[in-house]
Amino acid sequence: MKNIFKMVAVAAVALFALGCETTNEGPKEGQLATPEFTCSVTGNAIMVSWEAVEGAAYYEITISNKATQKTDNTVYRFEDLEYNTEYTIKLQAISTDESKNSQIASQKVTTDELKALQYREWYPKNGAAATAISNNGRWVVGGNDRSGFVLDLSKEEMVEFSGVEFFDVADDGTAVGASFETNQDGTAAILIGDKMVEIDLSSVAVKHGMSCATGITPDATYIVGWFWEYDEANSYFAQQYGAVVPFCYDVLKDRVIVPTEGERIYNENAATAIKAVAPDRTLLGYQQSQGIHSIIWADENTPYEYVHFEYNDDYEPVFSLGDTQNLFTQSGRYIYGKATDFANGQASLPAVYDRETKELYTFTGGSVSAMSDQGVAFINDAPYYLGTTSYVVDINKGEPYEQIPFEEWIFDEHNVDIASFHPSTDETDGDNLYMEAVITIGVSEDGTKFLGITNTMQGWLTYVVDINGEPAPEQ
């Protein structure tokens, strides 16, 4: 486990060292003057210009340790660079007498962020489907059938992985999920750089089998998940929680802990897992006992409580907010997903719970598969794993809660015309079928980016709608 902390610390030291590089002092006697240069950035290109240095035969210029270029001009242009990336440019005036070469001038420059389109889509070659978007809207991760990917939206760069599935991602791109390298059933792991590092659960598990990291705070300091305890008889935590045990990993303290058990309504030990974590480290999970019930821990040391669970005098469940896929919104204010109406044939309902007002909202359809802190919920008219059409409900507008097709809503509210981008699922001329068979699964914290997936003949398609992006180019 300490390897994880060491890797994070080493990375931080390396970044600090890079950030401290400075330009050399003035020229020594007899040396050419150190060239003074300016940089102008246009997209992913950098134009460097400088005043001629008296006595210079030519100049040598380099960018971030790439091959040095020679020029006798006083301008140089670097093109086709990475977007939103910091580069170090170095320039030296060269004399016919090597001993008189100038000192090296150095400057750090960052290229522009990519001007994203309002609609973008990707087909991961390994078949993975998107699972989460970071709070800041920069990163998207995915996983399916032991394959995964990490997508940097600021650069439109996707890295695909085999033997890995990702389920959440922090604002710096740190992804968490499961690695299948040493355990075919999966082991909770963190992506640091390009390496998956397994979380050492030996301090809390006697003999654990499969495990999974399901959530991470935006600052990448706290991770949650669950593990399957194979030796229940000798496990203190399995005696509390049953075979499936929740865990938290504090990255900075390099410590794994099992959160404090709450007061059970039913005595039987049943599967208990953590699904998500809010920025303030509030934990959201579920308990499977006489149904599935959402539970919440104020912190790892506070006993969990049921979020919204109604039962009769005989302790038979009547109504419960609960599902294995229920999640927090970006700040943790809302809990969204599904609820079960046991009094009406165990009907499953899309549901949202407002932790501030303690109000529960239910709708018709399959599930609330995504939601923003702004109170906008995204509903599928079939269960989460089937999803046919994505609808939008703004709970701020009050009842009756009108469900508007996503494509119509995004056009009316934000003037984004998805059809104009001719998405891959637009199968017929003049009839955009884009919003058929899709699931909206994530929203950025500021409510400007919407992440979705759809299963097509070519495999899983991941799409992002960005209301601050550029409209489709005119044909």
CATH superfamily assigned to domain 2-110: Immunoglobulins (2.60.40.10)
Give the closest residue to 49 by CA, choosing from 73, 68, 67, 27. 73
Instruction: List, as one string, the DSSP characters of 66-95.
Output: S--EEESSSEEEE-S--TT-EEEEEEEEE-
Cα distance between residue 331 and residue 343, in whole Å = 32
Question: Whole-model pTM?
Answer: 0.82
Q: What is the pLDDT of residue 382?
A: 60
Closest Cα to residue 135, out of 193, 214, 216?
216
What does the pLDDT read at residue 96? 95
Both structure tokens of 234: 């000798």
Contact 335, 284 (CB under 8 A): yes
- Between 2.40.50.1020, 2.120.10.30, 3.50.50.60, 3.40.50.1460, what CATH number should domain 119-466 receive? 2.120.10.30
Residues 6+ apart with CB under 8 A from 123: 424, 458, 459, 460, 461, 462
Q: Which long-range contacts (CB under 8 A, 24 or more apart) does 428-431 make?
A: none
pLDDT for position 18: 36
Show the low-confidence residues of the chain (pLDDT under 50).
Answer: 6, 8-23, 383-387, 428-435
Give me the half-sphere count of Cα atoms (radius 13 Å) on the Cβ side of residue 219. Answer: 10
Q: So what's the pLDDT on residue 9?
A: 44
* 220 closest CA partner among 283, 284, 172, 164: 172
Distance in angstroms (rounded) separating the CA atoms of residues 327 and 121: 24
Provide the 8-state DSSP code for 12: H
The closest of 161, 122, 121, 114 to 138, measured between CA atoms, is 114
Tens of pLDDT, residue by residue over 460-471, are 889 999 999 999
Domain boundaries, the chain: 2-110, 119-466
Q: What is the pLDDT of residues 204-243, one digit of tens each?
A: 999 988 999 999 999 999 999 999 999 999 999 998 898 9
Beta bridge partners of 394: 376
What pLDDT was estimated at residue 28? Answer: 73
- What kind and span of H or E run contains 225? strand 222-229
**Residue 419, pLDDT score:** 85
Give pLDDT, residue 3: 54
Report, in this order, helix, strand and coil percent for the chain, each rounded to 5. 10, 45, 45
| Residue at token pair 């495999």 | 459
Tokens of 48: 């460097």
- The token pair at 197 is 């590092």
